[in-house]
Structure 1
């Protein structure tokens, strides 16, 4: 981020009318002290987008988008922070301070290096595309792509190219433009071979890989010869490129994903390209690896559901099972597209077209339970009575563990018809599995009933949110909370935001809360921070803060208590009486500590 004096930012923030700026994009209506409207970042029928002129903030309670007026301009105009500042300053007639576009001296070397890497990749992408579209060397690759149904317009849109088989086409090209050998090696465009330097990619169709801003930072190279391995070769990881943190085509698909709150997760580059050519534009793909937690977190900022459309072969189904757990862990609802005849999305859309693929997503998208049942069926031995019985029992166990009551009812009727079993028999068996699951859970959390935990969970969440508000809006309250040693809240994102707030309060004790939001660069933190500005905030007295802190402490003690109980049960079951006795003493101590903490005050319960 370019240097912009804090004083100038605050003056600009006060002069700019956030309601006026946002009204250029959203029809707003007054609602009390705020304004509401339909969110511009996702499709909705009921307004969940709020703007506070008093606090100069906006927040969508539907998709989580939020921030200051600078963030709004950045997201709607696709510009950097400094560019947003310049645009707003020009709008209100403020003169920019000297040096606003100068980089911080400490960042200059790294920023200059990264800019060189981007320039090298940009030039290389243009070179590859030119070779593909305009030279004899690219004719074979051009024919290959056209035979796969890729039009020349799509090749240009996705900037596809061809890396010739010669050893130093890219190296010579970039050397002539002033790039040093060590730069080409560092960013993965060249490799050292013997005493010389050669192109990393040779004889491959080239697919540029872009970052979230749409800048080329890497390549995927696809061989046209089935005998050449690997089929796909990606750029090596370096400063700007980490495969586990990026999704192919995310920069182009993101706006559409955010609007519909649904992403289409594909397995490869060609799936994305073929579907986009057919009009299905919200597809993204992993970069030659299984879906990662970082990629799921990236999707979570823009969608609530993800349709997984991997290949229909065994490897694709296995990868789908892994993706389901990762998406669920990120708080995203997975849906699985079942493509007929074991085809991949590219093959299906080439044969049937984009409209047929759209209808397929409507008709053959499965829930997690439906997909897992189908996967179990494909692996089961249904030709023998033993295999059929085993499958039914496994299916009922799955239903007891994962399915909603409606799903249970529906799938049991299907099982009844398929295996000629009465629904009553299946229900009785299901109840047995459900009881077994409950017994296991009850055994694990011995003496800690669900009724006791849930109210505490709710109090813990309320207390965590209130502590964040206190630290954000009240510098004295922030110091008090820090002195009490609160470091962990209900959710990881809350804990991460608390750490950033502590650091900010220590260095900027008098800064306005909106200035803190402008310092954040992680979208999940921005979304959480912006939500804190909406709703009433009480006077944070020491008594009230103590209530919040006690709720947090009590929750952490309960977690420790549960863990010790499990260890105690395991020690008793193994016959290790001495160890069980030691753990029991710790359990008693924790229980005594919990008893000393009064329940949260009624003032907090009502919040």
Structure 2
């Protein structure tokens, strides 16, 4: 990859200083399996069996499940959805590495996306501090403070989550921030103010919940009206998507919960911010909440590496909307092979009320008594449909089949179909027949829909050319041997030619490590192919010299064969009329003889 405006010195410092084991470990739990080889569940897709490999010596990662691979920069790019330059700047800042720029680039004159993002974060951090001050120290915030206190929140909890109060005066925040040298133009893009009335705060007279990113920085807000309130007001307001904040990719409370989630391999998904806070105060510090959206693929990818092999608990409301959210979340989690249990709260409308009325022990016990999602669905379907009619049983079975479809194990599918039969007094043969007929019909429809479609993109072909170059990437001591006998033009495989070019660039610039090579390679598919091949263990150091020799012979033999075939065609088409023609034919035959000798010589090696 090209470094863009960031100096190679900075890129090298980031690659040499950043510990890939520590960095990856912030997103998924890793375990050592001998030497400096680490394994864990992939943070990019849901799985129960660890197929994600991190080589601490070579400083690269590869997943044998989804085939993603690369170095620490590409990892941060993928996990944090950053550009290449932004990922380098983020890692450099975290490690205390000064970022140097090339070609006279001035970051103050040409501010990158990450610069603007950090400025927005600074704005939100400062605003959160002021809201917190209003809640804890001013008469204006007294009503909001009394509300959270009556709901059972302690001062420690309020401080931990940095709860605040947005003043009723909608112009106050604009005046305050302008006094701190934030421009009106910048504030207009911040999401804190009305688009129609730029000096009017979006949040006013509300209890404020700062929303933190995974690093613990404030990136957005949620605001709740304080009872008693005008019924015309929306109960909750959340920040819209911002440069530093995407609802689909953010979970309330995740920065506080991620260590507990990793340790316990469990997570509680809630509906609201107060639910999360109540769970945390009760010691159930692995609770998080979505932010005005349903559970998404991005949320699951965010947590799957932490809870693989563990349990996802769902704690949504028991009303119609809550049950629908539970149903969708169950299917999504099961599609990512995550075990799901449902918390059915009793004794209060939400965790905070149960905590207040019955104490932390009661809430903890209700979590421990959570039921499997299949049991929950059977119970719910039994209430939803009349089980004394054939139509009711058929509708219940069809809906339950959608859950079975999402299961990743045939044993689980079989077991759940048996559970359905027992619950609703159905014959197993009839249920399995309906399920299989439905699945086969869906499969046939899918085939008809896709039989004319072709896969886009170029597939990487592993031949002797690419095999040899991956071998020298695994053992770079062999590269000089290979380059002394071959040039880039000798390679016909496009992927091999691209990799040779990267190897040559790194060799010429004396930045010749695997992490440098992966960093220079701008073909993501090729990077993943390289990391997967090396991680497989095929390219052991003692075999690389043999593979390199085979590659050299293979390429030279192909070149000689091509030359020989052209020569044979010329000889075949040659017509002898004069002695001069005969002399030229004899020369061609002699050239063929020499080529035959060279081919035979290569064949003996």
Could you state the TM-score of these two structures normalised by the residue count of structure 2?
0.64
Cα deviation digits, residues 462-513 of structure 1 (max 9, x gap):
989999998877596997554699xxxxxxxxxxxxxxx9899599665643
Q: Any gaps of 5 or more consecutive residues in structure 1?
A: 88-95, 448-459, 486-500, 546-607
Name the SS of the counterpart of 1:302 in structure 2: helix
User: 1:426 corresponds to which residue?
Assistant: 427
Contact 1:338 1:366 in 2 (8 A): no
| Closer/same/farther in 2, CA of residues 135 and 72 from structure 1, 3 Å limit | same
Choose which of 124, 136, 140 in structure 2 pairs with 1:137: 140
User: What is the CA distance between 1:105 and its match in structure 2?
Assistant: 6.4
CA contact (8 A) 2:15 2:515 kept: no
**Which protein is bigger by CA-based radius of gyration?**
2
- Say what the alpha-carbon RMSD is for the aligned residues: 5.5
What secondary structure is seen at the aligned counterpart in 2 of 1:206? strand
The Cα of 1:192 is off from its aligned counterpart by: 5.1
Q: Aligned equivalents of 1:70 and 1:200: distance in 2?
A: 37
1:318 equivalent in alignment to 2:324: yes
- Which residue, 95, 108, 111 being the options, matches 1:108? 111
Contact 2:32–2:39 (Cα < 8 Å) also in 1: no
Q: Which moved more, 1:396-405 or 1:157-166?
A: 396-405
Written as runs of structure 1 = structure 2, the 5 A alignment for 1:264-343 is: 264-304=268-308, 305-330=311-336, 332-340=338-346, 343=349
- 1:375 is matched with 380
Instruction: Classify 1:391/1:112 alpha carbon distance in 2 versus 1 (closer, same or farther; 3 Å).
Output: closer
Equivalent position of 1:219 in the other structure: 221
Contact 1:300 1:331 in 2 (8 A): no
Give the whole-Å Cα distance in 2 for the aligned partners of 1:21 and 1:246: 19
**Structure 2 residue runs without a partner (length 5+):** 44-48, 80-88, 449-457, 474-486, 540-546, 556-605
TM-fit CA distance, 1:348: 3.5
Q: Distance in 2 between matches of 1:412 and 1:114?
A: 53
Give the conservation status (yes or no) of the 8 Å contact 1:39–1:60. Answer: no
Confirm or deny that 1:183 pairs with 2:168.
no
Residues 208 and 218, structure 1, Cα contact 8 Å, conserved in 2: yes
1:572-603 Cα shifts (integer Å, max 9, x gaps): xxxxxxxxxxxxxxxxxxxxxxxxxxxxxxxx
Q: 2 CA distance for matches of 1:275 and 1:294?
A: 23
SS of match in other structure, 2:234:
coil
Q: The residue matched to 1:191 in structure 2 has which SS?
A: coil
Q: Could you tell me how far apart the structure 1 residues matched to 2:282 and 2:225 are?
A: 24
**1:381-396 mapped onto 2 (5 Å cutoff):** 381-382=386-387, 384-386=388-390, 389-390=393-394, 393-394=397-398
Residues 240-279 of structure 1, C-alpha deviations (whole Å, 9 max, x = no match): 2222221112222222223333322111111111111111
SS at match of 2:288: strand
The higher-RCO structure (CA 8 Å, 6+ apart) is 2
Of stretches 225-234 and 388-397 in structure 1, the one that deviates more from structure 2 is 388-397
Give the match for residue 91 of structure 2. Answer: 81
Q: Deviations over 1:47-104 (max 9, x none)?
A: 99977565245779999999768999999xxx952256558xxxxxxxx89779x975
Q: Is 1:209 paired with 2:211?
A: yes
Residue pair 1:63, 1:302 contacting (<8 A) in 2 also: no
TM-score (norm 1): 0.64
Cα distance between partner residues in 1 of 2:515 and 2:393: 62
Query: 2:238 matched to which residue of 1?
Result: 234
2: CA distance between counterparts of 1:105 and 1:398? 54
